[in-house]
Structure 1
């Protein structure tokens, strides 16, 4: 309830009656103040006329007035600048640490706002605000989706920044980890990230000109060169075809040379995974990308156009994997290029966030602007979240749109955080 009182105060959705303090003085809210989500009073620098006096200061809001004491504000000097205490129930007078009493005002949530809030919280429909979507102006939709798009990039930037910290400040290595994670395409994303952190790139760099050795290290570090990683009914074929044994021998030599240890092969998931997404295929594509010197941050930053970006991310498997999906199991010949959809996902989830994050890190706004430009040039993703929003009337044309709506679903709808959503605001203020 307190969050809803915050919301009513912030957006001035007050009941249609005169506002008064507990001692009968008229209250006029000129500016509700800046909402504070950190420690301290709930709203900073509010402008409020109480009676004939204009006050500029902070506002604290509680479900009931006695929460002031429950939270220890009467002993905290940070609350001495509170000019008005707002509560849904005035069950006591409140006092500052300096002994002064704080003016109080009863604030009720209007019935229609409460009804609409209950609808948003209890409905099983997605999105719960679907009734208001068709009536929203293009300005409201565009401004909120632009904010959501930036918010999503900021969120991914924070994840990349943390990876750079894990890589001892190396943004080059952080890019490789980010790239590897997204080569997992969801199901194996966590394992790919663990694999990438376990990859001694300084050692791999000594063999940059030898694709076979690169693939040996990549496959070996994934634990996929252990015989037990191959289903028993394929082990004989894997040993007979020669390639597995050659890779394993090479890896054992290099692992000893560079003191490398693989991750547990049992971490990889294959259930309900399409063969083209098998770890062997994705790792071979990554090995090829690294061999072609296209897996580096410098190559990414040099991309000025979307075509250049696609070229840098495009890869295919090494010859053995053109006729295999796992060791020992043959298939019809297929070069196994990254598909159009996979390439788009890598641009959206890896390259563009990395450009934005690195642009923020280096204060190069041109990289941030380029990230936004690329999002507007790529076609929108097609998944159940996007189709859901399209069905209720939202236009979804570009990857920028789809990323914004994925952010909306995951960070607002799923968390029932309608009070921070601009669509939710429009729903709540309906009369």
Structure 2
């Protein structure tokens, strides 16, 4: 309940007339102050009038005023500049570390706010705020979606920066790892990230003009050139075809030359995975991207239009994989190009965040702006999250919108963090259909 008290105070969701301290003095809340999420008083630089005298200082809020002592504030000088103590229940007087008795005010959460908050936390419908969506102004929706979109890009930026730190400060390698992770398309994302970090790009560069050697190194580092990783029913054919053995022998030479060690092949998941998403296919597509000089950070930053970025991401498999989904498993010939949906996901989840993150790192606002431009130009993702919001009347016009709504569900709705959500704010105010 204390969290809700903070919220009511922050947004002044309480009757502004008739407020009094526990000893009967009139209170006027001029400015509730800045909410502090760190150590120290709950609100900084608040302005309150008590009996006509303006006080500027901090405000502390508790469920019960006795929590002041429970939390040790009476011995903490950081709370000596509190000008008003607010509590849901006032059950005792409170004092600062210098012995001063503080003015207190009991604050009741309005019944409508408490009721609406309970609805948000307990309703079975999803999203719980669906009733308010049709009544929201376009400005409210747009401003919140823009904030969520930026928030999601900030989170992705931190992940990319962390990859760069793990790669000894190499943003080139961090880009390759980010690209690799997104080639896992969810289910194999973690395995592809581990694989990407294990690819020694400086060593591969010595052989980048020989696509067979690149493929041997990529497949070998994935642990997929161990015959035990080939399903038993395909092993005989895999060995008879000769390509598997050639790759394995070449990798043996390269592994010895560069002291390479593959990742654990057990990281790869195949269960209920569509054949076009098999690691062999995705790695082969990455082989072609690398061989054609499309995986460099310089190539990415030179893409000043979405069309160029889309062309950069386009790829296909190497010849052997045109007729195979795994070693020894032959089938009809197909170029196995990236589907339009997969290409869009790579643009949304790799190109856009990488441009934004690298732009932040280099202090290049042009790259950051380009990232937002690309999101506006890309079509919205079609998944259960975007469909859910469309069904309750929220427009999802482009990838920026869909990314914002993914952020909204993951970071707010799933955590029942309605008090930090602008849609939740409108719901608590009672603006429902």
Do both share a fold (TM > 0.5)?
A: yes
Note the C-alpha offset of 1:52. 1.5
Match of 1:194 in 2: 194
Residue-pair matches, total: 431
Match of 1:55 in 2: 55
Residues 191 and 268 in structure 1, CA contact (< 8 A), matched pair in contact too: yes
Match of 2:151 in 1: 151
Match of 1:386 in 2: 386
Q: What is the aligned-residue RMSD (CA, Å)? A: 0.9
Deviations, residues 248-299 of structure 1 (Å, cap 9, x unaligned) = 0000111111111111111100111111110000001111111111101111
Note the C-alpha offset of 1:17. 5.3
Note the C-alpha offset of 1:77. 1.4
- In the alignment, the residues of structure 2 paired with residue 135 and residue 235 of structure 1 have an alpha-carbon distance, to the nearest angstrom, of 62
Gaps of 5+ in 2: none
Select between 243-252 and 62-71 the one with higher mean Cα deviation: 62-71
User: Which runs of at least 4 in structure 1 moved beyond 4 Å after TM superposition?
Assistant: none
Deviations, residues 303-344 of structure 1 (Å, cap 9, x unaligned) = 000010011111110000000000000111110111100010
Match of 2:240 in 1: 240
- In the alignment, the residues of structure 1 paired with residue 264 and residue 256 of structure 2 have an alpha-carbon distance, to the nearest angstrom, of 18
Match of 2:21 in 1: 21
Q: How does 1:6-405 map to 2 (within 5 A)?
A: 6-15=6-15, 18-405=18-405
Note the C-alpha offset of 1:15. 4.0
- In the alignment, the residues of structure 2 paired with residue 260 and residue 75 of structure 1 have an alpha-carbon distance, to the nearest angstrom, of 59
Partner-residue secondary structure (3-state), 1:236: helix
Note the C-alpha offset of 1:124. 1.7
TM-score of the aligned structures, taking structure 1 as reference length: 0.99
Gaps of 5+ in 1: none
Deviations, residues 360-411 of structure 1 (Å, cap 9, x unaligned) = 1111111110000000000000000000000000011100010011110110
Note the C-alpha offset of 1:230. 0.4
Residues 149 and 400 in structure 1, CA contact (< 8 A), matched pair in contact too: yes
- In the alignment, the residues of structure 2 paired with residue 205 and residue 265 of structure 1 have an alpha-carbon distance, to the nearest angstrom, of 24
Select between 277-286 and 202-211 the one with higher mean Cα deviation: 202-211
Q: Give the 3 Å change call, closer, same or farther, for CA 43–16 of structure 1 in structure 2.
A: closer
- In the alignment, the residues of structure 2 paired with residue 365 and residue 72 of structure 1 have an alpha-carbon distance, to the nearest angstrom, of 46
Partner-residue secondary structure (3-state), 1:47: strand
TM-score of the aligned structures, taking structure 2 as reference length: 0.98
- In the alignment, the residues of structure 2 paired with residue 96 and residue 307 of structure 1 have an alpha-carbon distance, to the nearest angstrom, of 64
- In the alignment, the residues of structure 2 paired with residue 102 and residue 155 of structure 1 have an alpha-carbon distance, to the nearest angstrom, of 41
Residues 380 and 402 in structure 2, CA contact (< 8 A), matched pair in contact too: yes
Residues 64 and 91 in structure 1, CA contact (< 8 A), matched pair in contact too: yes
